[in-house]
């Protein structure tokens, strides 16, 4: 029996969600493009996540494109008790490229695409995905695209707004335009550039949602991580997730997988308590640059 309760909960706008959630990106085909190899298996993973107690799903209509949202609708609609967070700001090219789409018209189209494919009248949370380097945000004004999303929020199409791949300065700029409920950035045991931002957001009651919590397409590898996992009779990925849960109370996790076995492994990390000496040891990974893809 998987128990998500030990990980606790945190506010996401006007909702309270469990801190262990699920990210749907890996349900699309290779390169997050096209349909899954096994549609029935993808549906089964989504249903198993919710049956285990997950109530926070992360997705985007540019995954596929359209694929993950359509899978979520088929598997889970009408979403009783679920909070679905999506993101806009990019489109996929026919060659599977990721291209910026941040004009007011493009953002409006993206919001309506998400509404249609998810089967919703209003989106719970929409993150503006700022298009820079996939691993690190780039400075630059987001006034125009975030203002466009704030207008769509005022029209009643979006409940809450957030940011993805944002710098601290962009967070401040967005907050001058409209409140935000979450920031989704690259963060994990080995990539800790946002330590200060996490604390700042926590003081404001704003969720921080790490993407690539397990290293992304190249999983985290570290002798320290392996050693701690062995000592705790856990897998390295469970320890990496448990470290994130212990890092700060405003962190919400959305590890993704297309495998039922990996889903269960990830969710079981919610009940893994790390002793203080293990946390201190794991903190050395970033400080010493010991993790590698």
Please give the positions annotated as active site: 63
Radius of gyration of the chain (CA): 18
Burial status of residue 228 (CB atoms within 10 A of its CB: 0-12, 13-18, 19 or more): buried
Total residues belonging to the chain: 293
Q: Where are the beta strands (DSSP E) in 175-225?
A: 182-186, 207-211
Cis preceding-peptide flag for 78 (omega within 30 of 0)? yes
The span from the CA of 112 to the CA of 133, in Å, is 26
The answer to whether 184 and 163 have CB atoms below 8 angstroms apart is yes
Instruction: Give all strands (DSSP E) within the chain, no chain letters.
Output: 9-12, 15-18, 22-23, 56-58, 83-88, 90-92, 98-100, 123-129, 158-164, 182-186, 207-211
* N-term to C-term CA, the chain: 32
Residue 233 CA, distance from chain mean position? 27
């Amino acid at each position: 029996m998987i128990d998500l309760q030990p990980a606790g909960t945190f506010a996401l706008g006007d909702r309270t969600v469990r801190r262990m959630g699920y990210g749907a990106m890996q349900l699309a085909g290779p390169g997050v493009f096209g349909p899954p190899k096994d549609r029935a298996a993808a549906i089964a993973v989504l249903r198993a996540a919710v049956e285990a107690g997950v109530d926070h799903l992360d997705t985007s209509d540019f995954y596929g494109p359209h694929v993950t949202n359509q899978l979520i609708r088929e598997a889970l609609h009408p979403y009783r008790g679920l909070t679905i967070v999506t993101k806009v700001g990019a489109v996929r090219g026919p060659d599977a490229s990721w291209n910026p789409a941040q004009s007011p018209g493009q953002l409006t189209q993206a919001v309506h695409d998400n509404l249609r494919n998810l089967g919703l009248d209003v989106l719970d949370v929409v993150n503006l995905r700022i298009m820079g380097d996939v691993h690190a945000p780039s400075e630059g004004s987001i006034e125009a695209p975030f203002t466009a999303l704030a207008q769509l929020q005022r029209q009643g199409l979006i409940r809450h707004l957030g940011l993805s791949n944002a710098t601290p300065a962009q967070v401040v700029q967005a907050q001058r335009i409209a409140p935000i409920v979450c920031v989704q950035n690259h963060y994990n045991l080995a990539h800790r550039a946002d330590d200060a931002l996490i604390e700042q957001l926590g003081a404001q009651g704003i969720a921080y949602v790490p993407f690539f919590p397990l290293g992304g397409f190249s999983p985290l590898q570290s002798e320290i991580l392996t050693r701690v996992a062995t000592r705790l009779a856990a897998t390295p990925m469970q320890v990496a997730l448990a470290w994130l849960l212990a890092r700060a109370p405003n962190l919400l996790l959305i590890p993704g997988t297309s495998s039922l076995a990996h889903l269960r492994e990830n969710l079981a990390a919610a009940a893994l308590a790390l002793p203080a000496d293990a946390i201190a040891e794991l903190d050395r990974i970033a400080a010493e640059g010991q993790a590698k893809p």
